[in-house]
Amino acid sequence: MTRHEIDDSFTALPYRRLAESALTRAQDFHVSHADFRFERIRSQDVRVRDGRLQGASDSENVGFSVRVILNGAWGFASGMLLSSQEAVRIAETAVRTAQVAAAMTSRPVELAAEPAYDDVHWVSDYQVDPLSVPLADKVDLLSGWSAALVAAPGVEHSFGSLRQVVENKFYADLAGTTTTQQRVRLQPDVEVYGTNDRTGTFDSMRTVAPPVGRGWEYLTDGYDWDTALGELPPLLAEKLVAPPVEAGRYDLVVHPSNLWLTIHESVGHATELDRALGYEANYAGTSFATVDRLGTLQYGSPVMNVVGDRTRPHGLATVGYDDEGVATQSWDIIRDGVLVGYQLDRSMSQMMPELNGGRSNGCAFADSPGHIPIQRMANVSLQPDPDPGGAPSTEELLSRVERGIFVVGDKSWSIDMQRYNFQFTGQRFYRIEKGQLAGQLRDVAYQATTTDFWGSMEAVGGASTWELGGAFNCGKAQPGQVAAVSHGCPTSLFRNVNVLNTTAEFGS
């Protein structure tokens, strides 16, 4: 691990002076809580097509916000002008908002207790700040990859993209907590397209390298890109001539590059406590995993153990302290197949003190200085088989299947507003015949209810099969916010799952 300090260009900004002005003014109104958050979010996107640069863009978002609780109600305001006078004005606006909101607040807002952290720093685990690398180097790398791919037989077009984010946050509150943090994340994608001239079928094949909380080193020596890119043209060629799947019930062996998304949609969102309590009902939906079923809901088979974790190295949702000044943690969500926990922020924790010892598990996050923190997803991960001597490999899981399908890579998905009925497709699918892979299939989607699917999980692979997937674009709330989150999982075996032929379904 390379240890970095907080970037000097961030620490030179006047956030401490602004925090003192804002919090002092908020205290004049005898608020029960006040916090100040200052953010700088820098990002860069690079896109290439067929070996040529299509576009590159840089953005920087700098600003601050003040949040208060007064008369049992939230007040919030934000600004961009970095002066003490503006910090005072924003604090006053937050107070006035709370005064108005108090008349409409039926349940007074209270926050779960949290120790104070005096001027602590946290930096994510990376080696090279991607924004320090010259743009020309990034364009050369991506365009070189794209040019080589479009020159390969059967490839008509090739696309590459790289998104990079460096996020800095400063937080302070009246309880005495002060945190300063810096985290880095990358999302690379490479995809090739081709056509079967005989059938007219047009399709694509994409790398399955996940987005990560790493630096530029991920593009140079942190992943086997040579192998991943070299496989794309032959994988695409095989996919274009693959036979369509016959709809029916199959045993599935699901690779982590696909299963992470199923976890995200059917477990991660379903175990956000605000959803389970109905707070997202008018927009992003609720959850079938309601609080009255805590400790009794058989979410999946006994081999299903899921943790929420905001401390996992290189996770996209990993931080040292959340946006309410809570030290991040790891905790059980599903144990031996039974629902035992939720993802919490401080106000939700106070509402259900029986969870997590009455303490938030550090799941408050705002995606910009202009947005209020809301409860957001941790790195929610399925645990591997813990047996060091007998945990199965991917090959061993495949060997247990007489007739089935091996699923690799994510693609499209659909799930209902309660996170219960779903279907998922993927990048590629292979027939399994008598424990061996027997070529690709096309037009595959697997369909189930959440509890039936996870209940059908017969085995999980060992630690050697466990990988961390994820996404930059998890959306939630009104006004909408976007968060990055990772999900780890092993290769896993599911029995007797319903499989659709997507072309036949669309045609019908």
Q: Within 13 Å, how many C-alpha atoms sit on residue 124's CB side?
A: 27
- Residues 80-127: tens digit of each pLDDT: 999 999 999 999 999 999 999 999 999 999 999 999 999 999 999 999
CA distances from 359 to 257, 310, 355 (A): 33, 15, 7
Which alpha helices (H) appear in 329-482, and where do they start and end? Answer: 346-351, 394-399, 450-455
Least Cα distance to 366 among 111, 15, 64 occurs for 64
Q: Could you state, in order of their start, the residue ranges of all structural domains in the chain?
A: 8-241, 248-507
- Spell out the residues 6+ positions from residue 279 whose beta carbon is closer than 8 angstroms to its own: none
495: pLDDT confidence band, cut at 50, 70 and 90? very high
- Residues 425-473: tens digit of each pLDDT: 999 999 999 999 999 999 999 999 999 999 999 999 999 999 999 999 9
E strand or H helix that includes residue 48: strand 33-49
- Residues 158-173: tens digit of each pLDDT: 999 999 999 999 999 9
Q: Does 280 have pLDDT greater than 90? A: no
- Residues 35-60: tens digit of each pLDDT: 999 999 999 999 999 999 999 999 99
Q: Does 356 have pLDDT greater than 50? A: yes
The token pair that represents 45 in the structure block: 């996107």
Mean pLDDT score, 282-299: 95
Least Cα distance to 31 among 44, 40, 39, 22 occurs for 22
Which residue's structure tokens are 């790289």?
Answer: 162
β-bridge pairing 178-195 and 120-123: parallel
Which alpha helices (H) appear in 313-457, and where do they start and end? Answer: 346-351, 394-399, 450-455
Q: Within 13 Å, how many C-alpha atoms sit on residue 468's CB side?
A: 19
The token pair that represents 58 in the structure block: 């840089």
Q: Does 396 have pLDDT greater than 80? A: yes
Cα–Cα distance between 228 and 345 in angstroms, integer? 39
The token pair that represents 461 in the structure block: 């692979």
Q: Which of 318-322, 406-410, 478-482 has the lowest mean pLDDT?
A: 478-482
Per the CB < 8 A criterion, the answer to whether 298 and 455 are in contact is yes
Per the CB < 8 A criterion, the answer to whether 44 and 58 are in contact is yes
The topology under which CATH files domain 8-241 is PmbA/TldD fold (3.30.2290)
Say if pTM beats, i.e. exceeds, 0.85.
yes
- Spell out the residues 6+ positions from residue 232 whose beta carbon is closer than 8 angstroms to its own: 149, 152, 155, 190, 191, 192, 205, 206, 207
The token pair that represents 109 in the structure block: 């807002």
Burial of 351 (0-12, 13-18, 19+ CB in 10 A): middle
Cα–Cα distance between 506 and 504 in angstroms, integer? 5
Cα–Cα distance between 455 and 300 in angstroms, integer? 4
Please, which residues bridge with residue 66 across strands? 36, 77
Per the CB < 8 A criterion, the answer to whether 272 and 339 are in contact is no
CA dihedral 372, 374, 377, 378 (to 10 degrees): 80
Per the CB < 8 A criterion, the answer to whether 495 and 471 are in contact is no
Scored b (16 or more CB within 10 A) or e, 316-326 reads bbbbbbbbbbb
Per the CB < 8 A criterion, the answer to whether 358 and 468 are in contact is no
Q: Does 397 have pLDDT greater than 80? A: yes
Q: What DSSP string describes 189-210?
A: EEEEEEE-TTT--EEEEE--PP
Per the CB < 8 A criterion, the answer to whether 367 and 359 are in contact is no
Which residue's structure tokens are 């047996």?
Answer: 387
Q: Does 340 have pLDDT greater than 80? A: yes
Least Cα distance to 186 among 250, 125, 114 occurs for 125
- Residues 225-247: tens digit of each pLDDT: 999 999 999 999 999 999 999 99
CB atoms within 10 A of CB 342: 28
- Residues 404-415: tens digit of each pLDDT: 999 999 999 999
28: pLDDT confidence band, cut at 50, 70 and 90? very high
Q: Residue 368, SS3?
A: coil
Least Cα distance to 99 among 77, 117, 122, 120 occurs for 77
Predicted confidence at residue 1, as pLDDT, reads 56
Beta strands in 196-347 (DSSP E): 202-206, 248-254, 306-309, 330-335, 338-339
Per the CB < 8 A criterion, the answer to whether 329 and 482 are in contact is no
Least Cα distance to 48 among 151, 130, 144 occurs for 144
Predicted confidence at residue 508, as pLDDT, reads 46
Cα–Cα distance between 410 and 388 in angstroms, integer? 29
